[in-house]
Structures are given as structure tokens and as C-alpha cells.
Structure 1
Amino acid sequence: MTRSVYVTGIDRGDGRQIVELGVMELLTRQVDRVGVFRPLVHDGPDRLFELLRARYRLAQDPATVYGLGYEEASALQAEQGTDELVSALVDRFHRVARDYDVVLVLGTDYAETQFPDELALNARLANEFGAAVIPVVGGRKQSAESVLAETRNAFRAYDGLGCDVLAMVTNRVAREDRDEIAARLADRLPVPCWVVPDEPALSAPTVSQIVHALGAKVVLGDDSGLARDTMDFVFGGAMLPNLLAALTPGCLVVTPGDRADLVIGALAAHSAGTPPIAGVLLTLDEVPGEAILTLAARLAPGTPVLSVPANSFPTAERLFSLEGKLNAATPRKAETALGLFERYVDTTALSSRVSAPSGDRVTPMMFEHQLLEQARGRLRRVVLPEGTEERVLHAAEVLLRRGVCELILLGPIEQIRKKAADLGIDLGDSTLIDPATSELRDSFAEKYAALRAHRGVTVELAYDVVSDVNYFGTLMVQEGLADGMVSGSAHSTAATIRPAFEIIKTTPGASIVSSVFFMCLADKVLVYGDCAVNPAPDAEQLADIAVQSAETAARFGVEPRIAMLSYSTGTSGSGADVDKVRRATELVRERRPDLKIEGPIQYDAAVEPSVAATKLPGSEVAGQASVLIFPDLNTGNNTYKAVQRSAGAIAVGPVLQGLRKPVNDLSRGALVQDIVNTVAITAIQAQQSPAEEASAP
């Protein structure tokens, strides 16, 4: 039977979209097919469903998501009674439920409805749907005592109406009260109750939302600037020094359009990062001349400058009534919301309480969720040498908002800050270091010179070498100042991994460094090695690659069943290439008799059960291989790219293995999500200490 989760509330303004998004994230980690159902809907676009559909690539027909409109439901209840209304909604719910493993139900929103007891209606629907309930209580601008009372009363209300209350979430409480409320609720309810503090960035409107709400004209700015959160409003009418003193991070400067001095001053402050602002809003339908606008665009490229016809007072009234909303156009707010949910809600405990059916299918999204969750388990510090690259900065923001790891960004510090400010990116608590001016440069030069003295490297030469961001980052990893490094979005593979070969070197017992790709197919994850590093490995090296790849697979939740690939299966062929694979297979069996391995074997026999039944009947690997080892780089690299492009697989990697400490390379065409995934993988690799690594079988 379908297991459903019904997220509901007791009143407006509880911010439950955070919980709905967080629960959706949990469900999509566990199962492939997740449906969404909203019993009652207002006219107009459903912002949350559009966000869920875009973020989780939902294939569900939007027409099936909704039960009835509020007006239609109210009329039905008035004419035929509550039983008929509930019956109609139950029927529509089951049309969704029969097609999905689990359904997330979005409860009514208590906004401009005509139902006398909306809480009771939500409770009854949850019971009729057979859904467990997560009530959300809003605590914004309330005292701790009031929040405590409302939370206990909400539990009693839903429990008293026969609901299966899965857990309680108290949301948007004052940060200073959060710990006290959590402690006092911990022993007063029979179900878990998680307390989430208010996050100003979530209720802050984006500049784009302000444009839409005010009908403003965009004079300057790009999409990245319009996506910035507006954290404050500063109204400019005084002299420039007074305005500059009033600026706050993320503020929108509101000033008459004829005050060119304030426009240029605010944008110059933004350019210097003191502080970065959201943009400038010009009133009175006045816009500075072309020369001023050209200067403004050069001072702060991408920073929005807007214009409205009204004066400052009515503009202020409308601005102060705006509140940010989660929707498909605000992906950064979604990352903030998920980061908040995952920090304050015990997602492991909640997952265990949701009895969603599980299976062997692992979709690309489920694998990506698994990476982030595993990385969060034990936070590690990862250094990103390409700190001025736009994609790296966007990835850094996602990683920080989701709490995946701690970050160090390398590069000219003011350049990083300016680039981040132009993109509207908050780098939070990340550490910024300029290798050229860092106090570590002298000691790193001495260490590198000592390591490479046999190559004639002097301290003077080393001083120049270690100013390179990849060498500097690698030395940070070697010296324990960072746990891992990810580079390559703007550097070649050689430039990324050569420092690691010279400085970090291989683990004990490993003859080479190799790589794997995680190939995320529609319903499973395969591990391909080596597709990026070793052109023509011999039998001993191929055996090393197989063992390393099996260990990497196991670390990331893929049960290793190794297929040593060749153009021949079993004893059907001979020749130097086949003999090399056969010898490598024997070596792996000698070194690691615990590993399941088959070789030589052709690709089709390795992954297709029907072919395996003919060519290698009785094999515990054939037809179900999960780790596929290619005989050379030419075969491996072409195969992974063919599968990636032809089968629509997501290729995560290359992931380097065999180094004492983790360093990973990016494709120069890497997308933001590719960088996020690779950093998460690097953090997971770093979670195993060198001592544990050395003692691993």
C-alpha cells in the first residue's frame, strides 16, 4: 500500500514550505516514484509545486496534482455536506496514489478560505488517505511560552482527531529562543518535535520579485543580480557620507532618480564589497543620464538598477509588505531552506519513521542525495583553488547553504569578494586565501623544495611554484590545513593532479593513481575504471585499478562485483590483450579473495543477465557487474562518453583513487551540480583517516 506523508498546519504564516521541501528531499532519497497531491488549491500558479517539479524532475501531470479549487470545494460542502467533499477528494487522491510508491500531500493553507474548521478537515483527509501527519506550527514574533503552548495544543488536536502524527515541526521561532523551546518540548510530546529558527533570507524578497510586485523597469542588471535576496531597505536622501554609513549587506538602496551621487556612491561601495548591496531602486520616474549609467554598469556589472514612477513613501509601503517566496525561480532560497531543514531536523530519524517502500533501484537523483547526506555526516574542509571562477562560486554557495562541508577558496581575496558580490553570492564562513600574499607561502616553499630537492628544486624556485593555486592547495591538503582539494574547472587535468603526484603521492601498497566514474543510469549506479589517468596499464597495474575501484565503490554504497573487461569472455579467446586481463584477474583473486570478480568478460555478458546465462552460467558477477574495469584508457574513455551521451547517463567524476589524501579533477565543462557532487565525493573520501586507510584490507 502507498505510504503518504501529509504536511499540514494550524494557521497561516507557518512557513511550512520549508518542511514540505525537506520531506520531498527525504522521500526522493528513498524511492524513485514520488507523487504530489494538494487537496485544495487557489486560482493561479502553485509556486511550491512548480519548484518541486523543476527541482526533482517530476514527470507527474500537473492536472493530477490538485483535488478541487477552494470555491468549488466550499460550494460542494455547502450543498452536499462534508462527507461528499471528502469522498471526492479521496477519489482524486487515489488516482495519484496508485501510480506512485509514496505521495507527499500538501495540506490546506488557511488563506482566505471558507471552511469553518480547516484543521479538522485536514485531519480527516489525512485519515482517509491513510497518511501520516507532520503538523507545522509557526512561531514567528511569538514568545517562547506562546510557541510551547501552540505546539502542544496542535499535537493534541491532530492526535485527538485520530491522526497518525509522525512528528511535529515548530518553525520560524526566534533564534535566541530556539534552544530553550527545543529542550522544553523534547520531553513533553510522545513524538519527535524539531524546532527550526527563523531565517531572514527566506522571507527576504528577491530583486526580481520586487520588480514584479512594483512593476519596476530594469534599467541595469542581469539575471544573477535580479536573483539576489533583498535583506534590508535603505532610503537615500541625505548626503553621500551619511548614506554610505547606513548601508547594510544585501540592502536595496531606494533613492530619488535624480540623485546620481547616491547611485554611484552605493554602487562603488558594492564594488569594493563594503558592503555588497542587492541593488538600487530609483523613484519619481527619474533615471540618470547615459554617462552616469555607463559608469554605473562598469562599477558594478550585473547589479540591478530599477526605476518606478512613484515617490519614496508609497514605494516604501509596498516594499515593507513584500515577503519572499519559494518558487522555481528562486533555487538559491530552496538551497537555504533545505540547509535549514537538514540542520535542525533529524533527517535520519525522520526517514526511519517514514515507512516508504525501498528497492534496489538507485536513480541519479537518489545517488546525488546520498552523496550530500554522507558528506554532511562528518564535516570536512575542502580547498577550491579556482576561487574566482563563477561556477565554483555558485557551487560553493550551494555547498555552504546545504552544510555539506567547510570551504577554503584560493585566489586574490578582493577579486573573489567582488566576483561573489556581483553574483549576489554569500560565501558565509568560508576561508579566503591569496597564495601570493599568504603567510604560508614561505613555509610551503621550504617544504616543496625539500620534497623535490632530488629534482634540483631550490627554495627560490619553490617560492614561485607554490604561488600557483593548485600547488598551494595541494600543500594545504598535505599539511592537514585542508582535508581534500577539487580543481580543474579552469585548469587542465595535468595541472590539477601533477602537484598531487609530486607532493601527496600514493597510498602504501598502491603502485599507481587511477580514477573511476560513477555512471548514474536510470535505475542503478555503475563504477567505471580507469577512464581518465592510465593510458596502457599492465596486468599488475590493472589489478591495482580493480582493487582500488572496488574499495571506492563500497565506500559510496555500491556493492562491488568486478568485471575485468575484454573483447573475449572466459576461455573463448586468446592473445596478448586477453592474457593481460586474465592475469590481472588472477592477481586480484590472490590479493583480495573476498572480492567477487570475473574476467576476462565482455561488456554485454557483464551487465545483461540473459547474455550472462549463455556465456557464463553460474557466475556470481556476470550479468550483474557493478564495477567495470577497462583494459586501457582508450577503451574506457570512449565507453564512458558513449554511455553518457547515448544512454543519457550522468557521469560523476573522474574520482581519483590511490592517493594518500583526496584530490579530484573537474572537467573544464563541469556544471555547478558536477562541482557540488565532486566536492561531496572528496569530503567523503576525506572522512576515512590515513590510519584507517592504511589498515584497510
Structure 2
Amino acid sequence: MTRSVYVTGIDRGDGRQVVELGIMELLARQTGRVGVYRPLLHDGPDRLFDLLKARYRLDQDAATAYGMEYPEASALLAEKGVDELVSQLVDRYHRVARDSDVVLVLGTDYADTNLPDELGLNARLANELGAVVVPVVGGTAQPPESVRAEARNAYRAFEALGCQVVALVVNRVAPADRESIAERLSARLPVPCYVLPEDKSLSAPTVAQITQALGGEVLLGDEAGLARDALDFVFGGAMLPNFLNALTPGCLVVTPGDRSDLVVGALAAHTSGTPPIAGVLLTLNERPAPHVLTMAERLAPGTPVVSVAGNSFPTAAELFALQSRLNSATPRKLETALGLFERHVDTAGLRDRISVTRSTRVTPMMFEHELLEQARSERRRVVLPEGTEDRVLRAADVVLRRGVCDLTLLGEEQAVRKKAADLGIDIGGADVVDPQTSPLRERFAEFYAKARAHKGMTVELANDVVTDVNYFGTLMVQEGLADGMVSGSVHSTAATIRPAFEIIKTKPGAGIVSSVFFMCLADRVLVYGDCAVNPDPNAEQLADIAVQSAATAAAFGVEPRIAMLSYSTGTSGSGADVDKVRKATEIVRERRPDLLVEGPIQYDAAVEPSVAATKLPESDVAGRATVLIFPDLNTGNNTYKAVQRSAGAVAVGPVLQGLRKPVNDLSRGALVQDIVTTVAITAIQAQSRGPAGA
């Protein structure tokens, strides 16, 4: 029987989407076949389902994602009773269940539903579906004792109705009350109770959402600016000095359109970072003169300036009534929501209580989720030298929101923070270090001069060299001020890894530095090496790459079965290229008799059981290989790119191996998610070495 998890509230306004998203994340880590079912839906598209479908790459048809709309349910209930309503909703659930390993069920929302005893209906449905239940209780603007009483009552209500409650979540409580509420409830409830604090950025509408809701016209601003959260509203009417004192970080300035002084002043404050604002909303359908708008655009490029027709008072009333909801157009809110859930919920414990059997398939998303969870388990610090690059900053925002690791960004601090403000992202949790002005510069110069004295390096020359962000970041890792480094989004591979060769060097037992890609196929993860560093390794080097790659695979949960690839299999071919692979295979067996290795072997015989049964029927590796070692860079690099593009695989890497401390290179075409994943991998590599400075 398909397992299902029923997330339900007891009233509206509980911010339940955070919990639904968090549980979906848990389920997606366990299996690649997660279904979503909402028994009752309001008229219009289900934006949460659209979000889940896009984020978790569901192949579920939207038509199967809900039972019926509320008016139809209300009419059916009145005409034929609750049994018929439940029967039809259960029948429609099974359209999803038959194609899923587990189903996330989204309970009713208590918002203008016209259904009597809505809590009872949710409980009845959960029981009929055989679902475990996670009730959510909202705590907005309530004193701690009221929140605790409501949570206890919610548990008792669902338990009394026969539900299997596995956990309870109290959401949106005052941050100062979170710990006391959690302590008292843990002592009073027989199931875990997780308490999540209110996060203003989750309920804050974006500038784009405000513009749409008010029918505004965008005069200035780009997509990133419109995606900023309006954390506060500051209404302009005072003289400029008093007005500037009233500005708060992330506020939306609301002012009549004829107050050009306030517009220019607010944007100047944003540019200086004192403080960064979300944007400017002009009322009364008044617009500044063209030369003022030109000045505004140059002062704060990308910052939105929006015009609306109404005056300030009705505009204010509409603004205060707006609340954001999670959807695919607000990716930063998704990361914030997941970070909030993962910080305050024992995800491993909840996963065990839900008891979803782990799939033997490993999808790309499952692999990526496991990386983030493993990185979070022992936080490390990663330095990102390219601190002013848009993609790096966006990735840093995700890493910090998800609590993956601690970060240090390199660059001139004002430039880094201004770029982040222009992008509308929060890097407040990161350290920012300027190599040009850092007191570490002199210390690093002395270290580097001593380390490279045999090459004629002097302290004077080193003083310039160490201001290069890649050298500075590498020296931070070497000196224990960071656990690892990730660079390469705008630097070449050579510029990224040359400092590591010079300063960090290879670890004991490693003959060379090499690399692997984790190739995430539809149903498994393969490890390819070496596809990025060594052009034409000899037999000894090829063996070293194989041993290193097996260790890397094992560290990331991939059981190593090594295929030493060639254009022939077994003894069928000869020649220098095949002989190199054959010799490398023998060296691996001599050095590591505990490893499963086969070679020379062709790619199809390595990964396809039917071919292996013909060519190498007695092999423990053929047809089941997980670590594929290419004979040279030309073969490896072209193969990984061919598989990536033609098979739709996700290629994670290159991950460098063989260094004493982790430094990893990015593709210059790396996407934000690629950078996040590489940072997580770097943090995991550092975990085996202990924290920086230890």
C-alpha cells in the first residue's frame, strides 16, 4: 500500500506551506516517486502544486493533483452527505497513489470553504487514506500559553478521531517565545512537537507582487529588483533629513510622485547601503521629471520605482493587507522556508516517524538533497573568492538560508554588500574580507615568500601575489581560516587550482591531483574520472586516479565498483593504449586488493548488464560499475559532456581529489544550483579533516 502523509491545519493563517514544502523535501530525499494530492481546491490554479512540480521534477498530471473544487464539494455534501463526498475524494486519491511510492496530502485551508466540521473532514480523509497526520497550529500574535493550549487541543482532537498523529508543528510564533513553547510542549505531548518562529521575509510580499496587486506601472527596475521582499513600509512626507532617519533595511518607500527629493534621497541611501531598500512606490499617479528618473536610474541601477494611481492612504490599506505566498516565482522564499524548517525540525527523526521506505533508485534531486543534509551535519567554513559575481552571491544566499555551511566572501566589502543589495539578497551571515586591505595580507605574503623561495619569490613580490583572490582564498584554507575553497565561475581552471598546487599540495599517498564528476542519471549516480585535470596519465597515474575516485565515491555514498575503460574488453585487444589500462588495473589490484576493479573494459560492458553477460559473465564489476575511469582527458571530457547533454544527466563537478585540503573548481557556465552543490561537496570533503583552526 502506498504510504501517505497528511498535513492539515485547524484554522487559517498557520503558514502551513512552509511545513508542506519541508515535508516534501524529506520525502523527495527518500524516493523519486512522490505524488501530491489536495482533496479540495479553490477556483484557479494550484500554485503550490505548480511549485512542487517544478522544483521536484514531478511527472504528475495537474488534473490528478486535486479531488474537486470547494463549490462542488459543498453541493455534494448537501445533496448526498459526507460519506459520498469522502468516497469520491478517496477514489480520486488513488489516481495518484497507484503511480507513487508516497503521497503528500495537503489538507483543506479553512478559508471561505462553507464546509461544516472541517477538522473532522480532514481527520476522516486521513483515516480513509491510511495516512499519518502532521497537524499544523498557527501562533501569530498569540501569547505562549494560548499557543501551547491550542497545540494540545489540536493533538487531542485528531487523536480522538482515530488519526495516527506522528508529529505536530507550531508555526509563526514570536521568536522570543519559541524555546519556552517548545520546552513546555515536549513535556506535555506524546509525539514530537516542532516550533517554528515567525520569519517576516516569508510573509513579506515582493515588489513584483505589490506592483501586480496595485495595478502599478514599473518606471525603473529590473527582474532582480522586483524580486526583493518589502519587509517594511516607510511613508514619505517629512523633510529629507528626518525621512532618511526613518528608513529601515528592506523597506518599500511610499511617497507622492512629486516628491523627487525623497525619491533621490532614498535611492542614494540604498546605494550607500545605509540602508538598502526594496524600492520606491509613487502614489497619486505623479511621476518625477525625466531628468530625475535618469538620475535615479544611475544612482541605483535595478532598484524598482513603481507608480500607482491611488493616493497614499488607500494604497497603505492595500499594502498592509497583502501577504506573500510561496510559489515558483519566489525562489528565495523557498530557500528561506526550507532553511527555517530544517533548523527547527529534527528532520531525521521526522523521516523515521513517517517511515517511508528508501528507494533503491537514486535520482539527481535525491543525491543533491543528501549532499546538503550531509554538509549541514557538521558545519564547515568555505571561502568564495569571487565575492562580487552575481551567481556566486545568489548561491551564497541559498547556502546561508539553508544552513549548509559558513561562508567567507572575498572582495571590497562595500562593493560586495552593494551588489548583494542590488540583487535583493541577504548575505548578512557571511564574512566579507578584502585581500587588499586585510591585516592577513602581510602574514600571507611572508608565508608565500617562504614557501616559494626556491622559485625566487620575495616578500615584496608576494605582497602583490597574495592580493589575487584565488591565492588569498587558498592561503586562508592553508592557514586554517577556512576549511575549503570554491572558485572558477569567472576564473579559468588554471587560475583556480594553480595556487592549490603551489600552497596546499598533494596529500600523503596521492601521486597526483585529479578530478571526478558525479553524473546523476535518471536512476543512479555514476562517478567519472578524470575529466578535467590530467591530459594523458600514465599507468601509475591512472591507477592513482582510480583509487582516489573510489575513495571519493565512497565518501559520498556511492559504493565503488571500478571500471578501467578502454576501447576493448578483457583480452580482446592489444596496443599501447590498451596495455596502459591493463597495467593500471593490475596496479590498482596490487595497491588495493579490497577494491572491486575490472579492466580494460568498454563502457557498454561496464554499465549494461546484458552486454556484460556476453563479454565478461564472471565479473563482479561488469554491468554494475559505479566508478568509470577514462584513459585520458580527451575521452573523459567529451564523454561526460555527451552524457550530460544527450541523456539529460546532471553533472556535479569537477570535484578535485588528492589535495591535502579541499579546493574545487567551477565551470564558467555554472548555474547557481551548481555552485550550491559544489560548496556542499567542499564542506563534506572538509568534514573528514576537522574544522578550520582545530
TM-score (norm 1): 0.98
Q: Tell me how far apart the structure 2 counterparts of residues 670 and 359 of structure 1 sit (CA, whole Å).
A: 29
Counterpart of 1:241? 241
* CA distance, structure 2, for counterparts of residue 521 and residue 511 of structure 1: 30
Which residue in 2 is equivalent to 1:695?
Answer: none
- Could you say which residue in structure 1 is the equivalent of 2:483? 483
Matched, 1:312 2:301: no
The one-letter code sitting in structure 1 at the alignment partner of 2:329 is A
Alpha-carbon displacement from aligned partner over 1:220-249 (angstroms, at most 9, x marks no partner): 111111100000000111111111111100
Amino acid at match of 2:326: L
Aligned mates of 1:618, 1:165 — CA distance in 2: 51
Letter in 2 for 1:183: E
Stretches of 4+ moved more than 6 A in 1? none
| In 2: Cα distance, 1:579 partner to 1:294 partner | 69
Give the conservation status (yes or no) of the 8 Å contact 1:4–1:129: yes
> 1:26-37 counterparts in 2 under 5 A?
26-37=26-37
Is the counterpart of residue 20 in structure 1 residue 20 in structure 2? Answer: yes
Measure, in 2, the Cα distance between the counterparts of 1:190 and 1:118: 24
Aligned to 1:410: 410
- Matches of residues 301-450 of structure 1 in structure 2 within 5 Å? 301-450=301-450
Matched, 1:96 2:96: yes
Given residue 516 of structure 1, which amino acid in structure 2 is its aligned partner?
A: V
C-alpha contact (below 8 Å) 1:169/1:194 kept by paired residues: yes
Secondary structure in structure 1 of the residue aligned to 2:360: coil
| Within-5 A mapping of 1:499-510 | 499-510=499-510
Letter paired with 2:80: Q
Mapping for residues 271-282 of structure 1, pairs under 5 Å = 271-282=271-282
Q: Which residue of 1 is the match for residue 267 of structure 2?
A: 267
How much does 1:417 deviate?
Answer: 1.1
1:307-361 CA-partner distances (Å, limit 9, x unpaired): 1111111111111111111111111111100000000001001111122232321
Deviations 1:86-138 (A, max 9, x none): 11101111111111111100000000111120000000000001111000000
- The answer on whether the counterparts of 1:6 and 1:107 sit within 8 Å (CA) in structure 2 is yes
**Corresponding position of 2:231:** 231
Mapped to 1, the partners of 2:358 and 2:248 lie a distance apart of 48
Q: Is the 8 A contact 2:380 2:691 kept in 1?
A: no
Separation in structure 2 between the aligned mates of residue 356 and residue 691 of structure 1, nearest angstrom: 33
Partner Cα separation in structure 2 for residue 425 and residue 626 of structure 1: 39
**Correspondence 1:676 to 2:676:** yes
Task: Tell me the equivalent position of 2:215.
Answer: 215
Q: Which residue of 1 aligns with 2:169?
A: 169
Distance in 1 of aligned mates of 2:607 and 2:310? 67
**1:371-418, CA deviations, whole angstroms, 9 ceiling, x for partnerless residues?**
111111111100000000000011010111111011100011111111
Aligned residue number for residue 296 of structure 2: 296
User: Which deviates the most, 466-475 or 426-435?
Assistant: 426-435
Distance 1:654 1:622 in 2: 25
Q: Give the partner amino acid of 2:149.
A: A
Q: Shift in Å at residue 538 of structure 1?
A: 0.8
Given the two structures, how large is their TM-score scaled by the length of structure 2?
0.99
Residue of structure 2 in register with 1:67 after alignment: 67
Deviation readout 1:278-317 (Å, 9 max, x if unpaired): 0000111100011110111111111000111111111111
**Residues 444-486 of structure 1, C-alpha deviation per residue, up to 9 Å, x if partnerless?**
0000000000000000000000000000000000000000000
- Please give the residue correspondences for 1:509-658 in structure 2 after superposition, counting only pairs within 5 Å: 509-658=509-658
Change (3 A) 1:236 1:690: closer
Give 3-state SS (helix, strand or coil) of 1:187's partner: helix
Q: Distance in 1 between matches of 2:175 and 2:690?
A: 39
Contact 2:483 2:691 (C-alpha < 8 Å) held by counterparts: no
Q: How far, CA to CA, are the matches of 1:75 and 1:211 in structure 2?
A: 37
Q: 1:497 to 1:399 in 2, by over 3 A?
A: same
**8 Å contact from structure 1 (residues 660, 690) kept in 2:** no
Q: Which residue of 1 aligns with 2:133?
A: 133
Equivalent pair of 2:243/2:262 in contact (CA under 8 Å) = yes
Report the number of matched residues: 692
Which amino acid is 2:338 matched to?
Answer: L
Using the alignment, how far apart are the partners of 1:251 and 1:303 within structure 2? 12
Residue identity in the other structure for 1:272 = S
Q: Deviations over 1:244-299 (max 9, x none)?
A: 11110000001110111110010011011111000000111100011110111111
Q: Offset of 1:691 from its aligned partner?
A: 11
Partners in 1 of 2:594 and 2:403 — Cα distance?
Answer: 36
SS in structure 2 opposite 1:446? helix
Where 1:498 maps in the other structure, the secondary structure is helix
3-state DSSP class of the match of 2:164? coil
Give the 3-state SS of the residue equivalent to 2:189 in structure 1.
coil
| Separation (CA, whole Å) in 1 of partners of 2:58 and 2:524 | 18
AA at the equivalent of 1:88: Q
Deviation at 1:575, TM superposition (A): 1.6
Deviates further, 211-220 or 574-583 = 574-583
**Could you tell me which amino acid in structure 2 is paired with residue 286 of structure 1?**
E
2:253 partner amino acid: V
| Structure 2 unaligned blocks of 5 or more | none
Mapped to 1, the partners of 2:553 and 2:497 lie a distance apart of: 21
What is the alpha-carbon distance in structure 2 between the residues aligned to residue 677 and residue 605 of structure 1? 30
Structure 1 position 428, deviation (Å):
2.2
CA distance in 2, matches of 1:691, 1:78: 64
Aligned residue for 2:455?
A: 455
Identity %: 77
Alignment correspondent of 1:178: 178
Indicate conservation of the 8 Å contact 1:255/1:312, yes or no.
yes
Q: CA deviation at 1:690?
A: 6.6
CA distance in 2, matches of 1:603, 1:116: 63
Distance 2:495 2:95 in 1: 55
Quick one: distance in 2 between partners of 1:691 and 1:404?
A: 14
Alignment-mate amino acid for residue 327 of structure 1:
N
Deviation at 1:44, TM superposition (A): 1.7
Q: Deviations over 1:523-557 (max 9, x none)?
A: 10000000000011111111110010000000001
Shift of 1:582: 1.1
After superposition, give the CA deviation of every residue in 1:554-600 in whole Å (9 maximum; x if it has no partner): 00010000001111111111221111111111111111111111111
* Native 8 Å contact 1:661 1:690 kept in 2: no
**2:120 and 2:540 mapped to 1: Cα distance?**
69
Letter in 1 for 2:568: S
Q: Quick one: distance in 1 between partners of 2:310 and 2:522? A: 53
Q: Which amino acid aligns with 1:381?
A: R
Question: For the residues of structure 1 that align with 2:610 and 2:691, how far apart are their CA atoms?
Answer: 43
Q: Which amino acid aligns with 2:584?
A: A
Deviates more, 1:466-475 or 1:581-590: 581-590
Over 3 Å counting, the alpha-carbon distance change for 1:356 and 1:691 in structure 2 is closer
The 1-side partners of 2:499 and 2:482 are apart by 15
2:200 aligns to what? 200
Q: Which amino acid aligns with 1:613?
A: A
- Take 2:118 and 2:200, find their aligned partners in 1: how far apart are those partners? 28
* Structure 2 residue identity aligned to 1:90: V
